[in-house]
Every structure is written in structure tokens, then in C-alpha cells.
Structure 1
Amino acid sequence: MRSRVIHLINPKTDSLTTRPIYFNRALYSPLAGLLAVAACIPRDQYEVILTDENIETIDFDIEADMVGISAMTSYVNRGYEIADKFRAKGVPVVMGGVHPSFMPKEALQHCDAVVIGEVELIMAKLLDDLKNGEMRGTYRAAGLHPMVGMAMPRYDLLKKNRYVNRTFVQTSRGCHQGCTFCAEPLMNGLKFRYRPVDEVIREMEECGERTISINDADFFGTPERPKEVMRALKGRGIKWQAGVTSKLAQDDEMLELAAESGCTLLSIGFESITRSTLTSVHKHVNRPDQFAALVEKVHSYGIMVFGLFMFGFDGDGLDVFDETVKFNIDANYDACAFSVLTPYPGTLTWYELRKANRIVSYDWTMYDQGHVTYLPTQMEPDELRVGHARAYENFYALPSMAKRFPWTGNRNRAQWAIYNAFMRKAAKTDHIDTIAPPTADPSVAPMPPLLPIKKEWRAAVLEAAGAPDPETSHLEPAPIACESDSQGAVAAE
């Protein structure tokens, strides 16, 4: 008798960090979510096959009992194409990830079921329905996962030789910053949920790697919790990197513990060098007048700084590109990633721009943080596109790299060279020669998995979605374990 098979698929992303560049490797693996999904599937009942289309082709002839597809907005259309092909063969398809969680009605036009938000608490129900031939509609847990007793991600499924950074360990979910352009607080909540420290350390020790990426929205989100993790990491010989916000990255005790516990790089969302711009998108934690000193301080502990910046805010004029890059070079950032402001469906930025009739394109393939999908206020869309490309070209120019190279100090020079080489070459292959063409409005409105707490934001979301505003609509999921949507069995578009 054939073993039951579940085929998990990550559609092709084709981003700067997931595109194989050197030695047929990508800088980052995008599979952390699917490895966690695979961990929820009983090994004694199913064989799990994992495909990352960024590095391999999809075998549409695999005899699978179910296909699971995870997708973010920029590659959800490819996910829909994959789903349509498998459904045409009679294979049940379930979709999850950020975009299907925010737009389940759209996703259900291409799949049998959608997992909204976290999968851990509803996987058993999903698989029971699959066995009974009843898997359809939307599935969401009645509450947020307590982050205790989580199964070890299925690292054995990962093709480790195809990625530079391949092992991602999650120590928390949620983020209390509430930036208007970000999906995290509407997906995982404004309050941090923490895994027990011993479970985090056990995963790091047993994952098979000694170089780890901590996969939190903000590892330095609160003053004491990251220190507990880092104290437990000391002396274990593990090298790690993490994404953090700028405020607690200035804490000397935090940085000393980070260095002592093996931290080599911190990715920090600086976003803009203009304070008023940061305030307008509720990134209150950032202080541009302290950025250069922060970079210098982090460097003093032998830790690299990967700066994340965004262009296209309402306060950005044509000088923002060159001024930002000059600042980045002068401040000696080790690496930077620049993105175009993107109004992801369901975020507060989406609702603000849509209400102002400023969103031009709803072609999700254009929502890649490189194409311009809306009307900026102080420049033409094509000027934003060209300026964005020029920022990459200038920051990763050879004179800039020579100036920024860590000739002195304790930063990891090999890691610095790998990051800069990958980003330089990836940017050169990222040929975005047009802005996003106009499209018709989407047929359905997004609905965030978690509604905003702020009353006026919640009202804007519900008005756009044509939904009532229940008095209990705070940052908690609706109290239902599983609901079936009437569109669940509808054929593809």
C-alpha cells in the first residue's frame, strides 16, 4: 500500500536574497514556515516532501494526498498557478502564509482550504478533514499559540547545500511596534509570545547547525527576555544573527551579552533618516540623529550592522536616495537593503493609500518591494523606481565597499564579504525597468487575521471589508476553531 504523501511547496520568490547567486546558493532559505508546518504532520502517518521552487523544479507528477503551499504577496500568483495545476489533477490543495491569511476569499478561488494565521493548533483538524474528504474552507485556531512545547522543525527536509543562511530558530512571535506598513502585528499580535528558553536552546543544539538565524520580528523587543536567551547561549559555540529594532540595540549590556553569546550580525529596520517620516508610519522607536552612533557602538562589540531602509514615504523628495546612501556609507553600515514602500493588502498603509485612491496596481507579482504600485506624493513613480535602483548601485559600488570594509576591529570579514558580494551581484540582476501597470481593483477585500486595537484603524479596516465592527474586536482572533467558507469548493478562476 502506498504511503500517504503531503507535498509542501514554496513558490518561486525571485528576490535578492532567495535568488541563487554564487555556487548555486541563495543567501537565505525562505522555508522556516514550511519546516514548522512539516513538524506538525505525524511522521508515522505521512511522508512529507518539500520543494523550494527558488532552487529546484516542482514535480507535478508526484502522487500526493495533499499539497500545501505557503505564499507571500509577491509570489502568491505563482502559488495560485501551482494550486490550479494540482487541483486539475484531483489533488486537494491547502494554502497558508501571509497573503492567504489576509485574503482567504481570494485564495479559496484556487485551493480547497486556507489556514489563516498559525497552523499548530489546527493541523490535527485539517488532517482529520483530509482523511474524511471534508477538507475545505478556512481554518483558524480559537486562540494564539502559547509557544510552549513546539515540535522541532523538520530540518532534515532542507537542502542545506543550496543556502548560505539556512537554519532559522524562532524564540518569539509578535511585535509591539505597530508600524503601519508591516503585517506582523496584524498576523501575530502586538504582544510578544515567548518560547521557553530551554526549548529554544534545545532546538539550537539539535538542529544540526552551529550558525543560526533567530527568526523573530524583533529579538531585542523587551529589555530582559533576550538577555535570558543570550545568557543560556554563552559558551555553546553557536554563531547567530537576528533582526532587532534600534532602541534596545543601544543597550551596552545587551550588546555585550550578544557578543559573548556568539552574535555576528544584527539586522535593524532603520527605514528612514528623517524623523518626521518615521513618526508618520508609527516607527517611533527610531531616532535618526542616533543612527551613526548606534552603528559605531554595535561595531565596537565586533557585530556587523545590516541596515534596512525604505523609499517612497510621503515625506520623501528626490534627494532622499543620494542622501540616504551617503549617510549609510559615511556611517559605515556593513550592508544595506533598500526597498520601495509597498502597500501590502490588509496593512494600515494599504487602507490609507486605497482610501486616497493612490494604489494603481493590484498585480501581486509587482508587490516585491522593487516595483512601484502606488502614487508617491513628491516624485513620479518612475523617479522612485530609478532612485531605488541607484541607491543599490551606489552603496554596493566598489569604492563604497572598499571604504566600508572592516579593515580593523573584530567583525567577521569573511561574513562581510559574503553579504556584500551576494547583495552587489543580486542587485545587478534585479532588472526592474518599469513601474507596475494599472490594474482593476481586486474582486475581494483583505481582512487581517487580527484586527487593530486602535479604534479608527479598526473602523477603516472593517469599512473597507464591508464587515460589522463587533465590540470585542481587539487583537485576538475570532473564537472559532474551524469555519467552512461557502467558496471553499469553488473551482479556480
Structure 2
Amino acid sequence: MWAPLAVNLEYVASAIGDLCEVRIVNQEFDRSPIERHIADFRPDLFGVTMSATDHYSGLELCARAKGAGCTTVVGGYHPTAIPCELLAHPEVDIAVRGEAEVTARELVQKGAPEGVFGLSFRRDGGVVHNPPRECVANLDGLRFPARHLRAGDECSMWTRRGERHRDQIHTSRGCWGKCTFCCEPSMSGSRQRFRSAENIMAEVREVYELHHREPTICIWGDPHFMGKPALVDRLCDLLIDADYDMIFTAMLRADTVARHPALVEKMVRAGIVGYCMGIETPHEGDLGTTKKEISNRVQRTAVRNLRRSHAVAGGTFVIGLPGQTREEILMFPEYARNLGMTNAAFAIATPQAGSEFYRDLDRRGLITERDWTLYDQMHLVFRHDRLSARELEELLTGCLGRFYAPDIFLDDMVACQFRDHGGRKMTVKEAFDHFRERVDFIMNAGGDYQPEESLHFGKVFLRSQVQPYTRMRTERMGIHNIIDLEATLTVLGEQKLQATLLHGGEPFAHYVVKTGPDRVHYLDISDRPHDDATLNVELHLEDLKTLAESRGRFAARLLGRMVRKSRLRSLARASLALFSAYLDHKERGRRGGGNGKRLSLPEGFLDHYAAADGWDPDKYVEIVNGAKAAGGGIGGGDGGNGDDVDGGRGNGQNGGG
């Protein structure tokens, strides 16, 4: 989860707030014309923070502000990497390189860019680059972000969506990693600086008070939250002692998670429950070539440490690195599931400006796309030796679909129940809400991606879930061992419930649940129908447009198809079972909610997760070696063995803990 709160601008506002009046307009929420704010506030300086995908929209904002007589300033990772390119546009007056707090303060004090370290600006038809500014050494000396400047109903709605407020805090800056595809080294020089635990805790307290001491989820915004384990240990002590109703998510390196299992357990007790690690790839050659410097053993140990502590074990993968093939990439979600991950994101390799990856591809003339809006990790912007842009975009969607087959949600439910509810089963209502929340997260993450082709990519996503492993896993785990279905199953009895997905009138996937009086035998996702299904429902992807327009009409269509395709007795029993589940939920609510029934999982579940997936290390090595023999790739190296997967491509470097 990433928060679209403008904390970077709030830091700058805080740094200059005693020198001048400041207004923040966060266009994630406030879509009113910027001219309205300019006319009302009449600023002298107009600053825009920019990522690569904000390149053109940021220039447009600067043009509007310039037309109103403002001096325009751009800052962030993108302007730091390409100040000359931005200053080639007359609407941009000044570019900030690096961290902005001290630089912005000096600019406001002097009223001109001359002599202010960290600034680039135009003069006499050329560009002047003042000397670079050193990164802020004493982070405790920075004022907390000016969160009081947040405004707008949309922002308020977003920060209070669901049951918890949302916010973001940074405990450090920079990262000591040197990953070639990351732009962080260009900003921080691969050095990490830290705040003190007491200073961080003071901001946590301020955030909690800002949200009226109500339940809050907060993102640690650092690239590597565990960069200084002793600091995290002390912070956890303070969080545990404070006992606020807050939970946290963090981004961090897998090697540090692997080295510190006891600290991970303590972090979860302190409320740090969500984790996102850079797993990137199963291939150790690529891990070495991209300077990620971790190994498969490290990846596996890190995930195991998180799972044993009942944390949300998440991570990212990069697809489309030079030399990768379609067959290799399709193994990535299988590897993620075999590791035991409960969250996974897949991103197309994107050479961000300022990164070593960009400089290398640009030097070799392989950058094919200069439209910065496409540098969003969902589009291919360089000439790949094996794959087209369209193929990679479909592979991205397919990887997500394969990983997020429904059984993965059961893993997340298990972790949640052990962590927050003493290991009891979920109620049907809790399970439904949990499932809906996860589905909403996945849909929102890609909601703006090629909307004109939403049906096509929706089919790719769902079609990718067709495989035998969900049935194998749910047979081993037992859905009834995780969700309290006693009242429902008693009424439902022996049934086989089938939902068929269609596109253009053609079926492409069948989701089948087989139940008995006291258990759910399995959930199967197949490309062939179960002809003995007792209850059938057809869902046409085209109907999703109807759902957006009218839920009632959508429900009526589904019900009509169910009546035509199902045995009436089974339909009646299913309806009665749903009503029984509803009454059970109401009764539990009257008694105070929850239940005392414990999860019942296969022996050793937290070590092997009842694994059932398509990961085969020998097959993966064969695929990679086959690709190498066919030519292409990013270097040469030796194959690995044991847990370490290195099929020969890359430089064979192994790293990690």
C-alpha cells in the first residue's frame, strides 16, 4: 500500500513556514483548476514535485503558474536526474537537485538562485549548475511535515477510508543498496542516514493525535526500514510501551529480514505487520548483475521469518530484464507462492532517469520511448531482445492473476487470525470482508492501466488462474479449517457450486467449490466445466459494465442465469445456507462477535504452507539455459545448485546475508 499523501511537500513547507505563507495543493485529491488557487493565494514561488510520470503534467502546471507571473521551481527524483532537460522548457525557472528542505529555505531567504547550493537555473541562454548540496546529516534537526496544511474533502475521505486513518512517516533517508534499476543511489549516493528512535516516536505521537487517537495505519516510507537494526529495536520498545491503536507497513531488504528473525518477531508485536521486500527474480545471475546482491536462500529465509511471525510477507518482482523469456517470467509467480509470500507485485523493468540501468541502455542506444508518462513500470520503454511491449504487458497481468488465485487469500487470513485474534477461525462475514478488501486492493492497483482494454486484460488476469494447484492446496488446507462454516455447511450439504466466466459469449474459466456437510473438499479453477455441478452461475465479463451502472440489474441477470442452469433444490439449499450464515453473523454480533473455534491447519504449515505450485527449480534452470543457448542475455556465468537457482545467465554473483 502506498499513500498518495504529499509528505515531501509537507517537509518543504515545514522548512520555510516561518519565512513565508505556504499552501499545498495535492492534485491526487484536489482537481480544481490550479488557476483558482493561484488567483486566491497569489504566490511568488510555485513549486512542483515530479516523478517521471508527472513530467508533462508538471510542465503544464508550471506553464499556468508562469503565465500568472510566478517563479517556477521543480524538484524530486526526476528533476534531480534530468535538470537540463526540464530547464530547456521556458516554463521552468529553477530545478532543485537532491533534498529540498535547506535549499528551499535558502532560496526563499535570498530571493534568487545564485549561490544557493543544489540549484540549477537558466542564465544568459545557458544553464547554471550551482555546486551540489550535501544531504541533510542531522535528520532529527528537520521539522516534522506540515500535515496541518492538508485540505480538501477528497483527502479527508481517503485518509479515513475503511476502519483506519492513513498516514506516512519516514525514519531515515537513502539506502545503502546499489541496485542498477533504482534511482535512489542518484539521490543519496547509496548512503543511509537515520533519525533517532525518540524523534521518530515523537512524530508517531503527533500523527496519532492528528487523527484523534483513532485507529490508524501508517507507512514507513523509507526504501529500507531495517537499515539500522538497533534503531528499529529501540523504536519497537517505544511503540510497544505506547500501545497506540496503530499498525504499520514497511519496505525493506530481504537480507536484513533474513539475518534478524528475533527482531522481525518483535516488530510484528509492535504493530509493524506489512512487509514489502525486493525479491526481484529467482535467477541469481540477474540478482548479481543488477547488484541486488541477495541469494535464493536469503529470499526463502526472509519469507519464512515473516510467516513464522504471522506478518504479511510481501515483495516485488522485476520482469523483462534483458535476456528473460516468456517461459521464464511465467515461473515467477510460482516461485513467489513456493516461497510462501502472501503479497506480490510484478513490475516491468523500467530504466528510471538517473539509474545505472538507464545510463547503460541509453549509451547502447536501446531506449526506444521518450514519453515519460510510460515510465510507470507497466510499459516497456527499451528494446528487449526477446519480448515485445505487448507481450510484457500481458505477462505482467498474467503474473498477477496467477499469484492471486483465491487460495493465497487463505494464507493471509491465517496470518491475520494468528496475529490479531489468537488463532481463532474467521466468521463468514469476516472472511467475506477480508476477501473483498484484498480484491479491491488488486483492482485499485491497476485501475488506471489501459482502461480501454479492461475486458481483455481482465480475461488475461482470470485466465491465468486456471491451473491444478489451487485445488491441491485447498484440499490440503481445508477452507473449513480457516473459516467457521459449520452453520452454512450443515444446511448446504453435498453440493458442487460452479461459477463460469465468459467473454464474448465463450467460457474460459470455471470456479468450482465442492462441499460436504462438515467440510469444503476443494476449490478448483479449471478450463473445463464440471458437468455434475449442482448449482451454476454464469458471469460475463461484459456484465461488469452493468455492475458499474446498476447493482440491481446486475444481480437480476445473475439470478436469472442461476435459475436456468441450476437444480432448483440446490438453489434453494444455497439460499437457505446464505440466510443461515447471516443469522449466525447476527447472533455472534449480539454475543460480542467472533468465536472460540481454533484454526486447524496441516502439521508444519508455517514451514511448508501446504505448498502446491508449479515451481520446479530444475525446469527453471532448463528454461534459462535454453534461452542462453538461443542467444541474448546480460552476461555469462556459472550455474548454481541446491536452493540457489542460477541457470547460467548473468554474472553468477551471490549475495545476501
TM-score, with structure 1 as normaliser: 0.76
* Alignment pair present for 1:229 and 2:235: yes
Give how far 1:73 is off: 0.6
Matching residue's letter, 1:370: M
Query: Which of 12, 20, 29 in structure 2 is aligned with 1:45?
Result: 20
Give how far 1:360 is off: 0.5
Give the 3-state SS of the residue equivalent to 2:414 in structure 1. coil
CA distance 1:47–1:172, shift in 2 (3 Å) = closer
Deviations 1:381-406 (A, max 9, x none): 33222211221233334x35445442
Query: Computing the radius of gyration over CA atoms, which structure comes out larger, 1 or 2?
Result: 2
Q: State the match for 1:264 in structure 2.
A: 273
Give the 3-state SS of the residue equivalent to 1:257 in structure 2. helix
CA distance in structure 1 between the partners assigned to 2:366 and 2:265 by the alignment: 46
Matching residue's letter, 1:155: R
* Alignment pair present for 1:119 and 2:100: yes
Matching residue's letter, 1:281: T
RMSD: 2.7
CA distance in structure 2 between the partners assigned to 1:77 and 1:225 by the alignment: 40
Deviations 1:97-145 (A, max 9, x none): 1111111112222311111111122222211344899998266763220
- Preserved CA contact (<8 Å) 1:173 1:193: yes
* Alignment pair present for 1:365 and 2:373: yes
CA distance in structure 2 between the partners assigned to 1:93 and 1:217 by the alignment: 29
Give how far 1:211 is off: 2.6
Q: State the match for 1:427 in structure 2.
A: 446
Q: State the match for 2:36 in structure 1.
A: 61
CA distance in structure 1 between the partners assigned to 2:185 and 2:113 by the alignment: 35
CA distance 1:46–1:299, shift in 2 (3 Å) = same
CA distance 1:80–1:56, shift in 2 (3 Å) = same
Deviations 1:149-186 (A, max 9, x none): 11010112233422467421111112111000111121
CA distance 1:131–1:357, shift in 2 (3 Å) = closer
* 1:13-162 equivalences in 2 (<5 Å): 28-43=3-18, 45-53=20-28, 56-62=31-37, 63=39, 64-65=42-43, 66-108=45-87, 109=89, 110-130=91-111, 137=121, 142-146=133-137, 147-158=139-150, 159-162=155-158
Structure 2 unaligned regions, length at least 5: 122-128, 421-430, 454-657
Matching residue's letter, 1:252: P
CA distance in structure 1 between the partners assigned to 2:414 and 2:170 by the alignment: 33
Give the 3-state SS of the residue equivalent to 2:233 in structure 1. helix
Q: State the match for 2:167 in structure 1.
A: 167
Give how far 1:272 is off: 0.9
Deviations 1:215-263 (A, max 9, x none): 1110112342322222232222232111100012121221122012111
CA distance 1:216–1:80, shift in 2 (3 Å) = same
Residue identity (%): 21
* 1:454-465 equivalences in 2 (<5 Å): none
CA distance 1:98–1:415, shift in 2 (3 Å) = farther
> How many residues are matched?
407
* Alignment pair present for 1:246 and 2:238: no
Give the 3-state SS of the residue equivalent to 1:343 in structure 2. coil
Give how far 1:54 is off: 5.1
CA distance in structure 1 between the partners assigned to 2:197 and 2:298 by the alignment: 32
Give how far 1:407 is off: 3.5
CA distance in structure 1 between the partners assigned to 2:409 and 2:239 by the alignment: 34
Give how far 1:205 is off: 0.5
- Preserved CA contact (<8 Å) 1:116 1:139: no
CA distance 1:175–1:99, shift in 2 (3 Å) = same
CA distance in structure 2 between the partners assigned to 1:316 and 1:244 by the alignment: 25
Q: State the match for 1:406 in structure 2.
A: 413
CA distance in structure 1 between the partners assigned to 2:276 and 2:52 by the alignment: 22
Give the 3-state SS of the residue equivalent to 1:319 in structure 2. helix
CA distance in structure 2 between the partners assigned to 1:433 and 1:293 by the alignment: 41
CA distance in structure 1 between the partners assigned to 2:339 and 2:114 by the alignment: 59
Give the 3-state SS of the residue equivalent to 1:74 in structure 2. helix
CA distance in structure 1 between the partners assigned to 2:21 and 2:68 by the alignment: 20
Give how far 1:365 is off: 0.9
- Preserved CA contact (<8 Å) 2:348 2:378: yes
Matching residue's letter, 1:188: S
Query: Which of 289, 302, 308 in structure 2 is aligned with 1:280?
Result: 289
Structure 1 unaligned regions, length at least 5: 1-16, 18-26, 435-493
Give how far 1:193 is off: 0.9
Q: State the match for 1:307 in structure 2.
A: 315
CA distance in structure 2 between the partners assigned to 1:35 and 1:132 by the alignment: 22
TM-score, with structure 2 as normaliser: 0.58
CA distance in structure 1 between the partners assigned to 2:275 and 2:247 by the alignment: 12
Q: Which has the higher helix share?
A: 2
Give the 3-state SS of the residue equivalent to 1:234 in structure 2. helix
CA distance 1:202–1:139, shift in 2 (3 Å) = farther
Q: State the match for 1:391 in structure 2.
A: 399
Give the 3-state SS of the residue equivalent to 1:176 in structure 2. coil
* Alignment pair present for 1:195 and 2:201: no
- Preserved CA contact (<8 Å) 1:321 1:390: no
Q: State the match for 2:561 in structure 1.
A: none
Give the 3-state SS of the residue equivalent to 2:346 in structure 1. strand
Deviations 1:281-310 (A, max 9, x none): 0000x2224434432320221210221111
Matching residue's letter, 2:386: Q
CA distance 1:405–1:257, shift in 2 (3 Å) = closer
CA distance in structure 2 between the partners assigned to 1:215 and 1:326 by the alignment: 29
Q: State the match for 1:440 in structure 2.
A: none
Give the 3-state SS of the residue equivalent to 1:40 in structure 2. helix
CA distance in structure 2 between the partners assigned to 1:127 and 1:415 by the alignment: 49
* 1:287-298 equivalences in 2 (<5 Å): 287-298=295-306
Give the 3-state SS of the residue equivalent to 1:122 in structure 2. helix
CA distance 1:133–1:253, shift in 2 (3 Å) = closer
CA distance in structure 2 between the partners assigned to 1:221 and 1:133 by the alignment: 36
Higher relative contact order (CA 8 A, sep 6+): 1
* 1:210-225 equivalences in 2 (<5 Å): 210-225=216-231
Give the 3-state SS of the residue equivalent to 1:101 in structure 2. helix
CA distance 1:336–1:55, shift in 2 (3 Å) = farther
CA distance 1:58–1:288, shift in 2 (3 Å) = farther
CA distance 1:432–1:50, shift in 2 (3 Å) = closer
CA distance 1:152–1:101, shift in 2 (3 Å) = same
Matching residue's letter, 1:226: V
CA distance in structure 2 between the partners assigned to 1:55 and 1:28 by the alignment: 15
Give the 3-state SS of the residue equivalent to 1:124 in structure 2. helix
- Preserved CA contact (<8 Å) 1:126 1:139: no
CA distance 1:47–1:33, shift in 2 (3 Å) = closer
* 1:180-191 equivalences in 2 (<5 Å): 180-191=180-191
Give how far 1:373 is off: 0.4
CA distance in structure 2 between the partners assigned to 1:424 and 1:415 by the alignment: 14
Give how far 1:376 is off: 1.6
Give the 3-state SS of the residue equivalent to 1:256 in structure 2. helix
Moved more, 183-192 or 122-131: 122-131
